């Protein structure tokens, strides 16, 4: 691919959907014209990212409930974390696109995004970012004091993430540190403290993100190499499946340790075995040279997360009857 093919003219893409959004997504079908660019900026047309942010929160709330003997996770906390995940995922994407707008204009997959294509001004994006952050702040202030301080502690990691691709092949690791903070927050919101179980869960979730975002990054590796950006996809190259095996193994072991420390039983570990099978399918069927294949495997991590969550729920239900 030549540089002109990558750069193109951003304005020519202003009316087209973003390339990695699902076809017939609800935003493109139902959103009014004035809201469409902002919803795309928040990635509302790609809801899998919300799931990947919310699920570690849900795991953590559920494991804390299992640890404390609850029959089910606190529904109020799950709702708060869902709202927070929607707001902060959108805020994170908005911030990332503000920082990366010039880079995104040079990459085929991202040049139709609202900022590089000129659909939204920087001033409008900043105002939208502020609004989403206010929603997230409202959710955070609804939690206990320990959780509030813990929530603020992630801000430097979030602020650093968009710049990592310029200096390191490991931006996926920094994304993992930021994106899975909910694995700590959920437990803290239930118990008011941290323990080794959520720490182990956080370690496993970070390794999970390095794995799935490496798969995602393979869609852009040629463009990234051409414009000087770095990623684990470029770092791992043809050895990606071996690296994925290692990171996904860390995920399963760390999550198993977290479940054991929280008091998980047979149903949890049975579910974790099914989740491990989902990982094996991803690795066995991954084709790093096929963008559609990579996107499908990336999206399938929502299924992995749901398997883990329902495994915890099943274990909580069984424990409540014993």
What was the pLDDT predicted at 17?
Answer: 59
What was the pLDDT predicted at 310?
Answer: 97
pTM score of the predicted model = 0.91
What are the angstrom distances between the C-alpha of 181 and each of 55, 78, 158?
Answer: 11, 15, 10
Contact 316, 72 (CB under 8 A): yes
Of 129, 98, 92, residue with least CA distance to 113: 98
Three-state secondary structure string covering 234-248: HHHHHHHHHHHHHHH
Of 231, 227, 300, 171, residue with least CA distance to 1: 227
Look up the domain containing 97 and give its range: 3-321
Report helix angle 122-140 to 75-104, nearest 10. Answer: 160
3-state class (DSSP) for residue 16: coil
Contacts of 296 (CB under 8 A, 6+ apart): none
How many CA within 13 A on the CB side of residue 62?
25
Of 130, 146, 103, 141, residue with least CA distance to 10: 103
What does the DSSP assignment read for 98-159? HHHHHHHTTSTTTTTSTTTTTSS-HHHHHHHHHHHHHHHHHHHTTS-HHHHHHHHHTHHHHH
Residues of the chain with pLDDT under 70: 1-23
Q: Round to whole Å and give the CA distance between 301 and 208.
A: 9
pLDDT 10s digits, 242-291: 999 999 999 999 999 999 999 999 999 999 999 999 999 999 999 999 99
Contact 232, 243 (CB under 8 A): yes
Q: Round to whole Å and give the CA distance between 164 and 103.
A: 13
What was the pLDDT predicted at 64?
Answer: 98
What are the angstrom distances between the C-alpha of 56 and each of 69, 95, 185, 203?
Answer: 20, 22, 9, 11
64 φ/ψ angles, rounded to the nearest 5 degrees: -65, -40
Q: What is the tally of structural domains in the chain? A: 1
Contact 64, 316 (CB under 8 A): no
Q: Round to whole Å and give the CA distance between 200 and 177.
A: 13
What was the pLDDT predicted at 132?
Answer: 97
Three-state secondary structure string covering 143-184: CCHHHHHHHHHCHHHHHHHHHHHHHCCCHHHHHHHHHCCHHH
Query: In a 10 Å sphere around its CB, with 0-12 CB exposed, 13-18 middle and 19+ buried, how is residue 148 labelled?
Result: middle
What was the pLDDT predicted at 23?
Answer: 63
Output the domain CATH number for residue 240: 1.10.357.140
């Amino acid at each position: 691919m030549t540089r002109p093919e990558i750069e193109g003219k951003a304005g020519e893409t202003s009316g087209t959907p973003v390339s990695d959004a699902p076809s017939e997504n609800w935003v493109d079908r139902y959103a009014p014209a004035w809201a469409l660019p902002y919803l795309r900026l928040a990635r509302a047309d790609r809801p899998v990212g919300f799931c990947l942010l919310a699920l570690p929160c849900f795991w953590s709330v559920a494991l804390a409930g299992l640890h404390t003997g609850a029959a089910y996770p606190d529904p109020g906390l799950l709702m708060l974390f869902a709202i927070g995940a929607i707001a902060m995922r959108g805020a994170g994407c908005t911030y990332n696109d503000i920082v990366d707008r010039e880079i995104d204009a040079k990459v085929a997959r991202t040049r139709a995004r609202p900022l590089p294509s000129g659909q939204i001004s920087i001033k409008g994006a900043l105002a939208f970012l502020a609004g989403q952050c206010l929603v997230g702040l409202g959710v955070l202030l609804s939690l206990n004091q320990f959780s509030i301080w813990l929530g603020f502690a992630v801000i430097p990691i979030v602020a650093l993430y968009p710049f990592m691709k310029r200096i390191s092949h490991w931006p996926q690791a920094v994304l993992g540190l930021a994106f899975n903070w909910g694995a700590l927050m959920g437990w803290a919101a239930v118990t008011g403290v941290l323990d080794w179980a959520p720490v182990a869960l956080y370690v496993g979730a970070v390794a999970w993100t390095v794995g799935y975002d490496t798969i995602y990054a393979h869609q852009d590796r040629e463009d990234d190499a051409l414009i000087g950006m770095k990623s684990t996809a470029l770092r791992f190259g043809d050895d990606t499946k071996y690296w994925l095996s290692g990171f996904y193994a860390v995920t399963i072991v760390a999550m198993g340790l977290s479940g054991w420390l929280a008091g998980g039983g047979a149903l949890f570990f049975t579910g974790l075995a099914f989740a491990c099978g989902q990982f094996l399918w991803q690795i066995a069927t991954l084709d790093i040279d096929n963008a559609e294949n990579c996107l499908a495997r990336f999206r399938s991590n929502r299924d992995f997360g749901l398997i883990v969550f329902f495994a915890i729920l099943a274990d909580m239900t069984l424990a409540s009857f014993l």
